Chain A
């Protein structure tokens, strides 16, 4: 057992897992609020990644300001998205909504290609490229940044939902929309905010993962699908579940592709998904839901 390799892989796994967790969280929040699975969630990370690259590389805007702009942009994006892809279909069955979100995903992918070209772009690193020495092992500093930022974001989110009235209102809307209305909570606004926040989570994911890989129009697709796997792993609909699922998947993926097969790296997420759906469909933290006769 080469411990230093394993530690490096743990770092990489935690970093990737954090990205999955952020995107998975975005899924779960939207799903809890409006019972819709957003198949364009991966593109919620791809779009801000491109915007970031453009702002930094073409307009030479410093990193900190770029982040602020990207976050604001995605917030507005989320609200617009909700108005176009969700709102007109909010009373329909799930198939039209699934297809509609898939359609928006394709639109965004190809829009990105037209605007930014088909070549993969590289995002300028906010951290230096020299490896940090931690616990006796060399680790890419970007991984550390990813993990720390994700923790910070999760901390902020915890505070928001646990301690602020707005956060409680959003949770209430997600748990029982009708009752929330009866209490006077403006449910439509809560839903818009949910989409906006979910997009901002995507922005975080896109900006954090951009320097690790190239920024391409296709980066959202696999990211979205694997984040969906993470959410199901953790128990679809559970917020801590999405986070645990994402981290678990990230770490497993790294180890499996090293020890078992790197060619099938992408398959592990889905193999685990199918196993979970077979053996314990409610995931780690989810609850069994049965239909009432």
Chain B
């Protein structure tokens, strides 16, 4: 109970401190600067959502800031609407432009995405300059009104401050809640590993657009704050590419991914130039040199620096101990002690091998230009069996797995799962149908915790959306608790108990493999695709893996695995399919395949005639 109260105390203190600030700051000049900082901070919070959470580099944030400012300025000066109406308009119009940017740039990433956003921002600015009939062009819009509360005009900077401060608190609260919700986890999964996010059940298209939309909306609101305070004047010059760069630097300085960090970065980089006025013209050079130095020496920004300080580590531990997640983990651990330590309710389907066909593959082919990676393969996987797909390097095994999980669209052929045709569907759709997979080169969400990795695995089996994630009604909290419970049981099952809050990439290699398995299991798959699950494992770890595979099969999940470790394959498989040069050359039980001459020649390269006769 005490930890819970402590958790409420800290934000309460912060809120009070924020609200009494105007009492301490008497100069209008500094108050204006603080209002400007807040307006930029809200925009940076938005940038933090699209870049820090979702990992999409957007250099158009100042343009959305401008859209918000102009929308409200035009509505209030030319159409006489009340300022509060302008506030809603600013948010939603900017958000709409965010959708306009998000849709065409879906397939882009890295430099291409950055360039597209730059281009978008520059075009928007040019429109602001040239659509004189609407925006008054380079002259800008003057005499932008202040908001009224009843009969009280919030004209003085110290009065407007309360609007700004309360907005900032609300938007920050929203961003922090978002991060720790199903939607936030989906965004971070995209950032960490977009491919794995898709196969874990996240609709990457939808969430990327959502990130752009939300971040543009935040920026638009920040623009509203800017327009109706400070000098009550806006002009297109302010909303330039350079300003987008400044916002980027603010967000990165604060610490990519940290909401509080964005606020710190924005405030610091707005107030600092004032304090450094004595440097005059060379200020920008110091600023620029500082940017380069930060990138070299402090790439995780201020938040990263603070995080690694021992004082803050203890503070965080104390803070996290009070979180709902931590309390649930602790009570689950206690319950386990009492019940004797066996993972209980973690079950998938209960039907054991009924022998009917679960996955049917007909004439599957994948051509990359002239290369026929897979050249007409027919396969069947029966419910409840463990089937292995083997063959020399380049025989097409991983390509088949990629088509089965939706990462590649087949050139021809058909894939049917449990009667439903899933050929060419997107990964998250196939996951919803009941297919889960692991990857050859482990694709975990490295910077996220072990627990979060497994929670994301349940994305397709949960439904809390954006609004629920921010406002956390009872139904959302219940869902989160249930997701955590299942995640904990999955972790128990694979032997990762006690590691829930460790960073996924900090785990040793063997544990990482097993974590990926847990993430796949919690999506309630009918079919589990494993790509070289034993790669890099030592003998003991491989034996443990074999045991796990049998237990998974016993709980009703069918397994198709690609593997090179022949002792694993022979030991574990009920049925083996052998590929070579993109075609199936043999299939059957372990014994049959082991003695098939074509298989021996193509794959194994060893004369085993003598051994065969000795065996019989």
Contacts and interface: CB of A to CB of B under 8 A. Distances in A.
> Touch between A and B in complex, CB under 8 Å?
yes
Interface of A: 37, 84-85, 88-89, 92, 94-100, 102-107, 109-111, 113-114, 221, 225, 228-229, 232, 236, 261, 263-264, 266-267, 269-271, 273-274, 277-278, 281, 291, 293
B249 interface: yes
Contacts of A114: 281-282, 285
A21 B273 CA distance: 37
Interface stretch (B85-93, B106-114, B462-470): B106-114
A100 B439 contact: no
Given A113-B281, A293-B402, A94 B111 contact: yes
Contact of A273 (B119, B126, B248, B292): B119
B598 to A, nearest CB: 28
B398 A229 contact: no
A217 B256 CA distance: 30
A94 B299 CA distance: 12
B252 A291 contact: no
B138 to A, nearest CB: 11
Given A89-B296, A99-B248, A277-B108, A107 B289 contact: yes
20 contacts: A84-B292, A92-B299, A95-B57, A98-B111, A100-B291, A103-B295, A104-B292, A106-B245, A107-B288, A107-B292, A110-B282, A225-B118, A263-B130, A266-B122, A266-B126, A274-B104, A274-B120, A281-B112, A293-B401, A293-B407
Given A85-B292, A221-B241, A98 B281 contact: no
A269 to B, nearest CB: 8
B111 A103 contact: no
Contact of B245 (A96, A102, A113, A232): A102
Nearest to A94: B110
A277 B104 contact: yes
Interface in B63-109: 104-105, 107-108
B450 interface: no
B163 interface: no
A109 B242 CA distance: 12
A100 B115 contact: no
Interface in B268-303: 281-282, 284-285, 287-292, 295-296, 299
Given A114-B282, A225-B122, A274-B116, 9 more contacts: A84-B292, A228-B115, A232-B115, A273-B119, A274-B120, A277-B104, A277-B116, A281-B107, A293-B439
For chain B, which range describes its interface: under 10, 10 to 19, 20 to 34, or 35 or more residues?
35 or more
Main secondary structure of the interface of A (DSSP, over half): helix
Nearest to B132: A263
Given A232-B112, A273-B116, A277-B112, A267 B122 contact: yes
Contact of B195 (A85, A278, A281, A291): A291
Contacts of A277: 104-105, 108, 112, 115-116
A20 to B, nearest CB: 15
Contacts of A269: 119
A110 B104 contact: no
B18 interface: no
B119 A270 contact: yes
B194 to A, nearest CB: 9
Contacts of B119: 225, 229, 269-271, 273-274
B123 interface: yes
Interface string B457-483: 000000000000000000000000000
A228 B117 CA distance: 13
Name the residue in A103, A104, A109 with the highest tally of chain B Cβ atoms < 10 Å from its Cβ: A103
Nearest to A231: B115
B107 A267 contact: no
A274 B104 CA distance: 8
B107 A106 contact: no
Contacts of B241: 221, 225
B293 to A, nearest CB: 9
- The residue in B119, B120, B281 that gathers the most chain A C-beta atoms within 10 A of its C-beta is B119
A89 B130 contact: no
A98 B299 CA distance: 12
B288 A104 contact: yes
Given A98-B57, A263-B130, A111 B285 contact: yes
A229 B289 contact: no
Contacts of A107: 284-285, 288-289, 292
A261 B292 CA distance: 39
Contact of B288 (A106, A263, A271): A106
Contact of B114 (A98, A104, A274): A98
Contacts of B407: 293
A249 B104 CA distance: 21
Contacts of B290: 103
B249 A99 contact: yes
B57 A264 contact: no
A99 B104 contact: no
A264 B115 contact: no
A232 B287 CA distance: 30
Contact of B108 (A100, A104, A281): A281
Given A37-B111, A229-B115, A270 B291 contact: no
A220 to B, nearest CB: 12
A107 B249 CA distance: 14
B238 to A, nearest CB: 16
